[in-house]
């Protein structure tokens, strides 16, 4: 039986194109379910800041302009998911990004007798997202964020995540939600869609 502020026993992923408000919704979902929002980018930065062995490896790779290999990303995620706050659930953001990482996450979860409950996919009209990001770029003085650059990022996202999303769709885990609208409107859609799958937040 759950109590107020207790963790929900739920394991989720969130995916969505740049500009769809993924980070904002990740925070809302994590807070609602009482689970940690785990971003691989944040993990990398935290390990580097803390000077851990993993952090040193990542720093050396990133500093030389390289990409962090699957093996190291898997190691870092596995380590993070073994921490006590993730024992009863989590929301992963930015992982898995490849078929190999999907398989590794399956292994990590199976080792503790668990599996994913759902994959939240924020969808958004491409032109609307581009318009939103161009306004943000202007407001924040990001002159490098041209329309061509923004559209390229959208293409890269689609290309990279399509195989991962397709795999989870085959498993019937994907919950697609329109990511356009106010923060509250999108949050309501996400939480309602998860509740309809029997993943209601703790009372």
Would you please indicate which residues are annotated as catalytic (active-site) residues? 22, 97, 136, 142, 153
Tokens at 189, concatenated = 């859609």
Nearest partner of 118 among 78, 57, 177, 159, judged by Cα = 177
Give the 3-state secondary structure of residue 36. coil
Report the distance separating Cα 3 and Cα 184, nearest Å.
25
| CB-CB contact of 76 with 45 (8 Å) | no
For residue 27, how many other CB atoms are within 10 A of its CB? 15
Residues 6 or more apart in contact with residue 201 via CB below 8 angstroms: 8, 32, 33, 34, 191, 195
CA 192 to chain centre: 19
Nearest partner of 19 among 203, 179, 202, 155, judged by Cα = 179
């Amino acid at each position: 039986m759950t109590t107020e502020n207790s963790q929900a026993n739920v394991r989720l992923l969130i995916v969505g194109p740049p500009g769809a408000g993924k980070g904002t919704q990740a925070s809302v979902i994590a807070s609602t379910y009482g689970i940690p929002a785990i971003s691989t980018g944040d993990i990398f930065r935290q390990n580097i800041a803390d000077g851990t062995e993993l952090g040193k490896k990542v720093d050396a790779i990133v500093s030389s302009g390289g990409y962090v290999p699957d093996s190291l990303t898997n190691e870092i995620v596995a380590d993070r998911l073994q921490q006590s706050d993730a024992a009863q659930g989590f929301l992963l953001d930015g992982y898995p990004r490849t078929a190999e990482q999907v398989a590794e996450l399956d292994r990590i979860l199976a080792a503790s007798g668990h599996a994913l409950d759902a994959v939240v996919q924020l969808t958004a009209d491409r032109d609307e997202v581009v318009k939103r990001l161009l306004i943000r770029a202007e407001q924040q003085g990001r002159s490098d964020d041209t329309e061509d650059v923004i559209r390229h990022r959208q293409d890269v996202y689609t290309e990279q995540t399509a195989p991962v999303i397709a795999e989870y769709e085959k498993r019937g885990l994907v919950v697609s939600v329109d990511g356009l609208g106010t923060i509250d409107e999108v949050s309501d859609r996400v939480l309602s869609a998860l509740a309809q799958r029997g993943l209601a937040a703790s009372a």
